[in-house]
């Protein structure tokens, strides 16, 4: 098991850094915001808490939550325009510094492609570097489910994305940064996990992560 010093060295020399999005890169949980917007906030927030605690599989939780919300295409677009996701303080500077150093930055999220791409745009991250869940809509814009073939729709999906990135780009050292159990599980194949508690603290992650931070300034240093 790597020591904290070794993890810091991996971060300093990483050729790719993957960020979770909800409660990490942005301050809120995208699915909870969408639920509130669609009038089923409390019921869905409870399901999110259970999913984050790791007591139900991610896909089961996602299916159940979306079954309650049933967001239309129009509602998703209106959420983004009326309540755009709020970036976590320090993330803009951190991503910019990583880019300056030639490090590839990816957003790997159990959230939704349309919301995550909006975040990527603000951080100058190419949309090709976004891995997230895709909502499906009927031609009239009504909710039609989600793309279950995306790796991020499954428990363990973030690890699959990192394996794919290592194969495709021959990255030697990939770092995963996030607040949840699904982020921690992605290492291995990720080489270093950094737990983030700046927006929400997940007890199990804080206790188990060798490296745990509450502000992105700690990584800028």
Crossing angle for the helix pair 73-82 and 30-37, nearest 10 degrees?
110
- How many beta carbons lie within 10 A of that of residue 127, not counting itself? 12
Residue 203 buriedness (CB in 10 A; 0-12 / 13-18 / 19+): exposed
Give the three-state DSSP class for 187. Answer: coil
What angle (nearest 5°) sits at the alpha carbon of residue 104, between those of residues 87 and 8? 80
Instruction: State yes or no: is 20 an active-site residue.
Output: yes
**Catalytic residue chosen out of the listed positions 22, 32, 179, 183:** 22
- Report d(CA 188, CA 96) in Å as an integer: 26
**Catalytic residue chosen out of the listed positions 15, 20, 32, 217:** 20
- How many beta carbons lie within 10 A of that of residue 138, not counting itself? 11
- How many beta carbons lie within 10 A of that of residue 173, not counting itself? 18
Closest by CA to 123, choosing from 106, 102, 101, 103, is 106
Task: List active site positions.
Answer: 20, 22
């Amino acid at each position: 098991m790597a020591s904290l010093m070794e993890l810091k060295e991996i971060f300093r020399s990483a050729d790719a850094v993957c960020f979770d999005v909800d409660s990490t890169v942005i301050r809120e949980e995208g699915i909870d915001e969408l639920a509130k917007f669609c009038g089923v906030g409390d019921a869905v927030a409870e399901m999110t808490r259970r999913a984050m605690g790791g007591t139900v599989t991610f896909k089961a939780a996602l299916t159940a939550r979306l079954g309650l919300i049933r967001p239309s295409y129009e509602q998703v677009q209106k959420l983004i325009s009326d309540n755009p996701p709020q970036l976590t303080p320090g993330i803009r500077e951190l991503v910019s510094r990583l880019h300056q150093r030639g490090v590839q930055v990816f957003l790997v999220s159990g959230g939704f492609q349309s919301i995550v791409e909006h975040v990527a745009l603000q951080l100058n991250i190419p949309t090709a570097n976004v891995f997230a869940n895709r909502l499906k809509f009927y031609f009239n814009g009504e909710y039609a489910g989600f793309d279950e073939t995306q790796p991020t729709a499954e428990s363990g999906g973030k690890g699959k994305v990192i394996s794919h990135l290592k194969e495709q780009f021959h990255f030697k050292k990939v770092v995963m940064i996030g607040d949840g159990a699904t982020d921690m599980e992605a290492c291995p194949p990720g080489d270093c996990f950094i737990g983030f508690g700046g927006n929400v603290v997940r007890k199990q992650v804080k206790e188990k992560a060798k490296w745990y931070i509450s502000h992105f300034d700690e990584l800028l240093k």
